[in-house]
Amino acid sequence: MDVSERDRPADHTAVADDAAYGTAVLPTSPPLSRRRWMSNILLIILVVDVALVLVSEFGLGTHLLGRSSLSTVTPVLGVLILMSLAQGVVIGTGGIDLSIPATITLVGTITLKASDGKNGGLAEAIVTVLVACVVIGIVNGLLVEVFGLNALVVTLATGQLIGGITRLYRGPVPSVSNVPPALDDFSSKNFGGVSLILILAVAFVLVLYVVLNLTTAGRKLVASSASVRAASLAGLAAKRYRIAAWVLATVVCGLGALLLAGQIGSPDLTLGDPYLLATVVAVVLGGAVLSGGRVSPVGIALGAIFIAVLNQDLQVRGYSTGVAQIAQGLVLGLGLAFLGYLRVRRTGRLFSRKK
């Protein structure tokens, strides 16, 4: 989503003026300066990623590029990219989705229960997962976009709700603890050490990039996500598109969780726990602003790579998960500060305009 109303006052005015005259014009390609700015961000994170991989490989003794390492790191990375994309779509609307961990855990439980651990039940499980994710997305979207509630509070609440439902649905002693073998096999596949999950995640990044940037529906979604007011003035059903963004995000999260469940094999009630802070950090590293607007799928993927490699380095060096959390917190803080610094340099403003 390369459209940011607040960073593009000229566009905003143009859209509003066009709407006022009844000739709504959709935001088209962004101004060169902002595109260049985003390109610079992507270039920076790409360089940082490459540097980190090289330091890991040759300086820290993390044999990342070996086949055996790749085969265990890339599935984790693939899942993180998908979850971060889900978070990124929501952050693009100016919201945040704290219910992602609970949704992941619910999907893991559905995968077990609906399939009964058998290949024959896998299709039913996938359909149930998709239905559940659509419902969660609609509920979150309606509460935030229609009722105007704060996304943070709403998703915190729905996360609790989903968590409670998951526990009840799972039951006291789950009779099945392993996902269907077909899903396990599928999620464990790799090509030259590169996990199929990562390949699918990268493919999804590209599809999302194309859809958001090169299709009418995608541009409408981007416009509505970036600024509900500007999009409404442009004649778009902005809220509907924004709700669609929530649904899209939750479905992406659900598909990622399905693959995660397959990769873990025996999903439990902690399945989603690692995907709260990490997804936000990946999105921020990808050049997004937490208040919404500018989000790049490619940037998110690069951000996720940084987080995954950093975590692997910390793991190999024997640092505790506490250190990993501190590192992620620091990266989040520094990333936000760096983006803020770049914005000040570009616009001369410390704070962005209100919508």
Q: Contact residues for other proteins (CB under 8 A)?
A: 61-64, 66-69, 71-73, 75-76, 167, 172-178, 188, 190, 263-271, 273-274, 311-312, 315-316, 318, 320-322
The per-residue DSSP string of 238-292 comes to: HHHHHHHHHHHHHHHHHHHHHHHHHHHSS--TTTTGGGTHHHHHHHHHTT--TTS
> In the bound complex, what is the minimum distance in angstroms from residue 272's beta carbon to other proteins?
9
> In the bound complex, what is the minimum distance in angstroms from residue 156's beta carbon to other proteins?
15
261/295 with CB nearer other proteins:
261
Nearest-angstrom CA–CA distance, 150 and 157: 11
> In the bound complex, what is the minimum distance in angstroms from residue 204's beta carbon to other proteins?
21
279/311 with CB nearer other proteins:
311
73/248 with CB nearer other proteins:
73
What are φ and ψ of residue 147, in 5° steps? -90, -5
Q: Do residues 301 and 46 make contact, with C-beta atoms less than 8 angstroms apart?
A: no
112/208 with CB nearer other proteins:
112
> In the bound complex, what is the minimum distance in angstroms from residue 189's beta carbon to other proteins?
10
168/214 with CB nearer other proteins:
168
Q: Three-state DSSP class for 190?
A: strand
> In the bound complex, what is the minimum distance in angstroms from residue 309's beta carbon to other proteins?
10
4/263 with CB nearer other proteins:
263
196/283 with CB nearer other proteins:
196
Looking at residue 172, the DSSP 8-state letter turns out to be: S
33/270 with CB nearer other proteins:
270
Torsion of CA 71, 75, 81, 82, to 10 degrees: 150
**Count of C-beta atoms within a 10 Å radius of residue 333:** 12
> In the bound complex, what is the minimum distance in angstroms from residue 150's beta carbon to other proteins?
23
> In the bound complex, what is the minimum distance in angstroms from residue 326's beta carbon to other proteins?
11
> In the bound complex, what is the minimum distance in angstroms from residue 79's beta carbon to other proteins?
9
β-strand 194-195 against 190-191: which pairing, if any? antiparallel
The residue among 30, 17, 49 whose CA lies nearest residue 286 is 49
The two structure tokens encoding residue 287: 């050049």
The residue among 318, 353, 287, 272 whose CA lies nearest residue 107 is 272
Q: Do residues 88 and 278 make contact, with C-beta atoms less than 8 angstroms apart?
A: no
Quickly list H helices, the chain.
9-20, 32-58, 67-91, 100-115, 122-141, 151-170, 181-188, 196-214, 216-226, 228-233, 238-264, 277-285, 297-316, 321-347
